[in-house]
Amino acid sequence: MDYVLTCGDEGVQVNAGTRLGIVGAGFQLAGFSEVLKYLRKSLGTDELRIAGSAENDWMKQQLDLDTWDQVDASTQQHIAALADEHKLLYAGFLPFADPRQLKHDIKGHMVRPKKVHVANGISFTLGGGEQTYHLGRYVISAEWIGAAPEKLAKSVLETQVAFYTQISGNQKLLRVCEERGALDPAVVKKNKKRLENLGLI
């Protein structure tokens, strides 16, 4: 399974590979290294890919950048460095263009309108990444949360929910779970229970 970490932006579409959504692809996200440890354990693989994507709002805010050109250039640089730091396979950059073939068997692009967010919900993937693309939803990888300490899961997930709510004009976002995927149903059930206990669904 070719798992690829990308930003959870609703515009990211992965055409080849299985997407794991995490805000900013994990850049400057507190607890990211711990998340990777539990994610690798839950997915049963150390081989994870990572890709940057265009108009990354998280990157823009974290680095206090002014233009999307600056953001896109910084995203490519920082996500490549993040890959080196965490022993991830750097696939490349997902642009606003036709689907682009990246490295490590990943293909994808950005499909939302430029400079605007159209999502009205958040999809928590529990069973092994995004199985069905949905332009109306931000994606948050939660395959790992049943195996991780509750404090870590709470912090990482709440940070992402708060950010996506903020960039959506503080509208209340619908929350759904995607349970399909390669993970054992018992693991999926445990992940869902943790989400419920955290009050996130």
Q: What is the pLDDT of residues 137-183, one digit of tens each?
A: 999 999 999 999 999 999 999 999 999 999 999 999 999 999 999 99
The pLDDT of residue 190 is 98
Q: How many Cα atoms sit within 13 Å of 169 on the Cβ side?
A: 6
Q: How many independent structural domains does the chain possess? A: 1
**Average model confidence (pLDDT) across the chain:** 97
172 burial class (0-12, 13-18, 19+ CB within 10 angstroms)?
exposed
Q: Which residues of 179-189 are buried (b: 16+ CB within 10 A; e: fewer)?
A: bebebeeebbe
User: Tell me: the pLDDT tens digits for 111-141?
Assistant: 999 999 999 999 999 999 999 998 899 999 9
pLDDT at residue 1 greater than cutoff 90: no
The DSSP letter of residue 172 is P
Return the pLDDT at 173. Answer: 97
- Per the structure, the complete domain to which residue 139 belongs is given by 3-197
